[in-house]
């Protein structure tokens, strides 16, 4: 096939992602969204005030997907979450059968927030006289210069929270700035009842100066002359991409997988297999982001609620479906995947370029060896990257899956965007008592403090290493004293421990430095007699520092451990539970693992959490350089030898 014809085929396949499904795990198509819309309208379950918090694919049971072969029919179902008259309902729609098969009220939970509820915040408060008075106290008379944001209210066990579905609204002064994040109107927070559509109270903790205009700008005028790059680098693929996208199936060198983009969690990779001697061997049934927890560390009335559980709070409000910029977010030659999201009335809306795929060569070495001055053997490395970017308020998160040629792959998170700031009376840290600054943050601009905070990203990794019967093993590096008379005095050996129950599978940040963490298939032996496995190699991590009785920690209990292992259950997908908006804690992983279920020689899911403590610095302003964290997952006794030996010499 000619290069341009191959490129046209790849692009045609990639841009048809909203077409009718060909695989049980394909996302809902435009036609299917409208089918859900019509079926629900005809169901008799909706009222004039009914609104949807979510419409998403209800995946078929895992056993059905594994048994399915191309050409066979498969079930197509959608899950809907409907909010009406302060109550939350869940439904399952049989799309092909055109009927509502399940409808139940979910008591004790509050439906997740929608884009409209968060984005219309400014219109909700501006007629309130108490809010107006608070603005005028700060010298703000033209309310059209303000940009107001709704945000999740958190939960702290108060009577107000029991009776209302809340958001908190804060505002920034936009006059003189090109960004809405640099000039907070500090000390004014509106507590708003989303169901009753009214202001419950206005919190005013006292006026402080709005930070001066311009300090948060990053447009061309604010940045100044761009630096000179005398020798541009260009990466070109004249023959087109080295991968193929057929519908939602991706093939690249020895890797095969299915990819889709979902509103709540973004990229979902399924049926990840690696070719070995012409045979497709399973590694991962499914992997995706599960949850994000970002608690800020300021106890003041205007900030204590800022303890966001982002995927659950913002995911269905399109936070994880943001368009990628061609040539910058993804390089030239990248192939883009579009997505769909349902609005509050269940009408489908396109979200273009929600993910991309591209190859890269960074100059890294895949492998090399030197046997003499003229006997160098070396191979360059090439990766396949599957990327999406989540935009959750002020932060942008780059969420990558990176496939390597040696049978390894990586889960990578990059944090960038704008750090959250508050306005303060002192101009700089030097102007504070003792010159020590703010105990809960750091000055990044005049009258501007960036608040200390954490980021915890939980990933759900449903391993199927050569099949579904897997175990989790810790290989501990144990120091050994040699026998008397041996010239060596000490060494280390490996002692393996299989996790029998969920409690055995919990791993904390400080525990993995002297251990290997592996998912093993005890029933499949490699060529040298060892059970086949894949190793998890965590990078730098951070542990939870909040106390166990603190409400934010109780609500985001998945961050209590770096790693959890559970038996696979189709309905256990979100680490902090299905409903996190104003959740009361204990849901998700803490609840499931309280039964301490067996996890040996069974179908297991590994939940891995990246942890980052972020004490901001001046260099993080006005836009933070991307800070990267990664988890590498690599074969361990899975292959007979280095699977990248067959890489070609550079031409």
Which residue stretches of 431-513 are H helix?
none
Q: What are the beta bridge partners of residue 342?
A: 348
Backbone angles phi, psi at 214, to 5 degrees: 100, -20
Say which residue the tokens 């309208």 belong to: 41
Grouping H, G, I as helix, E, B as strand and the rest as coil, residue 43 is: coil
Preceding amide of 622 cis, omega within 30: yes
Give the Cα separation of 70 and 537 in Å (integer): 35
Number of residues assigned to the chain: 651
440 is an active site residue: no
Give the Cα separation of 280 and 471 in Å (integer): 21
Answer whether 161's CB lies under 8 Å from 581's CB: no
Give the Cα separation of 119 and 609 in Å (integer): 29
Answer whether 338's CB lies under 8 Å from 354's CB: yes
Q: How many CB atoms lie within 10 A of CB 597?
A: 15
Grouping H, G, I as helix, E, B as strand and the rest as coil, residue 524 is: strand
278: its two tokens: 């012409």
Answer whether 342's CB lies under 8 Å from 349's CB: yes
Compute CA distances 181 → 177, 213, 451, whole Å. Answer: 9, 11, 13
Grouping H, G, I as helix, E, B as strand and the rest as coil, residue 292 is: strand
Please identify which of the residues 177, 204, 310, 620 carries the catalytic annotation.
310
CA dihedral defined by 592, 595, 598, 599, rounded to 10 degrees?
Answer: 20
Say which residue the tokens 């505002």 belong to: 171
Closest CA to 166 of 88, 107, 113: 113
Collect all residues with Cβ–Cβ distance below 8 Å to 174 and sequence separation of at least 6. 145, 146, 147, 180, 183
Answer whether 400's CB lies under 8 Å from 414's CB: yes
Q: DSSP readout, 3-33?
A: HHHHHHHHHHHHTTTTS--SSTTSPPPHHHH
Q: What are the beta bridge partners of residue 150?
A: 169
Backbone angles phi, psi at 144, to 5 degrees: -75, -10
120 is an active site residue: no
Give the Cα separation of 84 and 49 in Å (integer): 6
Compute CA distances 642 → 93, 241, 253, 632, 645, whole Å. Answer: 47, 25, 15, 17, 6
551: its two tokens: 């409400």
Give the Cα separation of 559 and 609 in Å (integer): 7
Say which residue the tokens 């944001």 belong to: 149
138: left (phi over 0), alpha (psi -120 to 50) or beta: alpha
Closest CA to 395 of 412, 413, 381: 413
Please identify which of the residues 296, 395, 574, 579 carries the catalytic annotation.
395
Going by their DSSP bridges, the two strands 604-614 and 77-84 should be labelled as unpaired
Catalytic residues: 310, 395
């Amino acid at each position: 096939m000619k290069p341009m014809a191959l490129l046209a085929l790849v692009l045609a396949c990639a841009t048809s992602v909203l077409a009718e499904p060909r695989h049980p795990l394909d996302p809902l198509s435009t036609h299917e969204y409208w089918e859900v819309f019509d079926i629900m309208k005809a169901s008799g379950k909706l009222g004039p005030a009914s609104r949807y918090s979510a419409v998403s694919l209800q995946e078929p049971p895992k056993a059905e997907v594994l048994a399915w072969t191309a050409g066979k029919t498969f079930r197509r179902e959608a899950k809907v979450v409907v909010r009406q008259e302060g109550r939350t309902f869940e439904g399952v729609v049989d799309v092909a059968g055109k009927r509502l098969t399940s409808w139940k009220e979910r008591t004790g939970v509050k439906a997740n927030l929608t884009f409209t509820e968060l984005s219309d915040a400014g219109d909700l408060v501006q007629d309130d006289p108490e809010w107006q008075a608070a603005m005028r106290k700060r010298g703000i008379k033209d309310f059209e210069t303000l940009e107001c944001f709704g945000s999740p209210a958190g939960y702290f066990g108060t009577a107000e929270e029991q009776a209302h579905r809340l958001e908190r609204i804060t505002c920034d002064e936009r006059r003189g700035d090109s960004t809405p994040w640099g000039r907070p109107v500090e000390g004014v927070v509106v507590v708003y009842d989303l169901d009753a559509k009214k202001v419950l109270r206005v919190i005013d903790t006292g006026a402080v100066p709005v930070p001066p205009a311009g300090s948060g700008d990053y447009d061309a005028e604010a940045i100044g002359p761009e630096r000179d790059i005398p020798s541009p680098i260009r990466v070109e693929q004249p023959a087109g991409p080295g991968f193929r996208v057929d519908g939602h199936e991706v093939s690249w060198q020895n890797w095969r997988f299915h990819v889709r983009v979902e509103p709540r969690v973004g990229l979902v990779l399924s049926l990840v297999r690696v070719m070995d001697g012409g045979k497709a061997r399973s590694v991962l049934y499914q992997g995706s982001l599960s949850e994000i927890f970002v608690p800020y560390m300021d106890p003041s009335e205007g900030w204590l609620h800022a303890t966001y559980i982002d995927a659950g709070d913002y995911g269905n409000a399109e936070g994880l479906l943001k368009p990628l910029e061609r040539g910058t977010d993804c390089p030239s030659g990248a192939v883009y995947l579009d997505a769909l999201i349902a609005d509050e009335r269940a009408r489908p809306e396109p979200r273009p370029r929600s993910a991309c795929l591209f190859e890269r060569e960074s100059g890294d070495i895949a492998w090399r060896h030197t046997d003499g001055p003229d006997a160098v053997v070396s191979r360059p490395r090439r990766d396949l990257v599957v990327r999406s970017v989540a935009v959750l308020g002020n932060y942008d998160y780059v969420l990558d899956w990176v496939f390597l040629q040696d049978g390894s792959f990586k889960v990578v998170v990059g944090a960038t965007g704008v750090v959250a700031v508050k306005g303060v009376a002192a101009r700089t840290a030097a102007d504070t008592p003792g010159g020590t600054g703010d105990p809960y943050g750091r000055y990044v601009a005049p009258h501007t403090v960036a608040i200390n905070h954490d980021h915890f990203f939980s990933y759900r990794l449903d391993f199927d290493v050569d099949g579904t019967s897997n175990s989790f093993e810790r290989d501990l590096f144990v120091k050994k004293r040699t026998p008397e008379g041996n010239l060596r005095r000490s060494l280390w050996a490996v002692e393996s421990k299989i996790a029998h129950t969920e409690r055995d599978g919990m791993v904390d940040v400080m525990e993995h430095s002297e251990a290997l963490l592996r998912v093993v298939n005890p029933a499949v032996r490699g060529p040298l007699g060892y059970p086949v496995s894949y190793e998890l190699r965590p990078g730098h991590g951070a542990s939870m520092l909040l106390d166990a009785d603190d409400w934010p920690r109780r609500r985001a209990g998945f961050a209590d451990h770096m790693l959890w292992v559970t038996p696979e259950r189709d309905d256990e997908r979100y680490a902090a539970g299905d409903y996190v908006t104003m959740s009361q804690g204990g849901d998700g992983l803490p609840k499931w693992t309280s039964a301490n279920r067996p996890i040996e020689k069974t179908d297991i899911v590994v939940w891995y959490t990246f942890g980052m403590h972020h004490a901001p610095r001046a260099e993080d302003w006005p836009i933070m350089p991307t800070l990267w964290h990664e988890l590498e997952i690599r074969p361990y006794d899975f292959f007979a030898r280095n699977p990248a030996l067959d890489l070609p010499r550079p031409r």
